[in-house]
Amino acid sequence: MPSWSAETLSQTRVKANPVSPVRVRQGDLFYFSVRVGPRATSVQGELRHRTIPFFKAEAPGQFRALIGVDLADPPSREDLRVEVSKDDGSVEQRHYTVEVLPVHFATQELTVPKNYVDLDEETAKRAEEEQEKILQSLSKVTAQKFWEGRFIMPVEGKIAGTFGLRRIMNGEPRSPHSGEDINAPKGTEVHATNEGVVVLVGDFFFSGKSIVLDHGLGLFTMYFHLDEVDVAEGERIHKGVVLGKVGATGRATGPHLHWGMRIDGARVNPLSVLNLE
């Protein structure tokens, strides 16, 4: 793996019931609870055009949502709109403020052989189709919530601190690194970070042998560059089960796990979920 400097990632403990305005860093996640009373049947939110499904909390009369801020969302004060639907057919609108705080993501400048970035037509087409397939798998929101309690680390290894890294190859800006890399020897077991369903298994040009897990309510985790995949599409997965083994398949400079997380379309730092309960 190339070496680079990266900002220390957020270790902020996010309160379960934040008060408006909620302060959250680019690429972070937070739980948000609303008190709705006994007549509420469903709750839905919207933040920066992302639809946010709420679920019934354990506390009576409350709904809760796990909300993400994309790593490229600009620092600003955002309106979190919440709609509470009630059993008499009425809908109550509420507004909360979310303040997005800036993160100074490191920049990595690389000079690589021209053919490394300029793919031939066939490969470019393949990579594009695969990217579309991955995005498709991340776009189907399951109404059921599978995840429960705390998330766990998928692998034992060294965290590279590469989430949000701005990559510049041969002077041209590329898309930011939207996951976290964990360096571990080839063959190290990779575990499911929470309850979910396998929605994609593939062997792709960029991400190599890959798995996408759907944790329900718009939350997904991704496991890339695997040496071996031990699960199949459609399988219901329990927290901690072995999904596969660490490898260096696809475009990787050495064995590591690329762990990615998306929620309602927002690319978030998977490490930030570990602080939540």
Binding-site ranges for Zn ion (CB under 5 A): 179, 181, 258
Task: Say how many C-beta atoms besides its own lie within 10 A of residue 236's C-beta.
Answer: 10
CB of 9 to Zn ion, least distance (A): 14
CB of 54 to Zn ion, least distance (A): 31
The span from the CA of 32 to the CA of 248, in Å, is: 37
CB of 83 to Zn ion, least distance (A): 36
CB of 234 to Zn ion, least distance (A): 26
CB of 30 to Zn ion, least distance (A): 24
Alpha helices in the chain (DSSP H): 114-117, 121-137
Question: 179 or 244, CB closer to Zn ion?
Answer: 179
Question: 59 or 168, CB closer to Zn ion?
Answer: 168
Question: 178 or 194, CB closer to Zn ion?
Answer: 178
The span from the CA of 270 to the CA of 201, in Å, is: 20
CB of 148 to Zn ion, least distance (A): 27
Question: 137 or 210, CB closer to Zn ion?
Answer: 210
CB of 108 to Zn ion, least distance (A): 12
**Sign of the CA dihedral running 233, 154, 194, 207:** negative
Q: Cα-atom radius of gyration of the chain, to the nearest Å?
A: 19
Question: 181 or 195, CB closer to Zn ion?
Answer: 181
- Collect all residues with Cβ–Cβ distance below 8 Å to 34 and sequence separation of at least 6: 43, 54, 62, 63, 64, 82, 84, 94
Determine the length of the chain.
277
Question: 179 or 208, CB closer to Zn ion?
Answer: 179
19: exposed, middle or buried (C-beta count within 10 Å: 0-12, 13-18, 19+)?
Answer: exposed
Question: 43 or 226, CB closer to Zn ion?
Answer: 226
Compute the C-alpha angle 125/213/51, nearest 5°. Answer: 85
**Sign of the CA dihedral running 231, 236, 241, 247:** positive
Region class of 207: left (phi > 0), else alpha (psi between -120 and 50), else beta: alpha
Residue of minimal CB distance from Zn ion?
258
Tokens representing 112 are 């690589």
CB of 181 to Zn ion, least distance (A): 4
Question: 2 or 89, CB closer to Zn ion?
Answer: 2
| DSSP 8-state symbol, 85 | E
Pairing of strands 91-101, 22-25: parallel
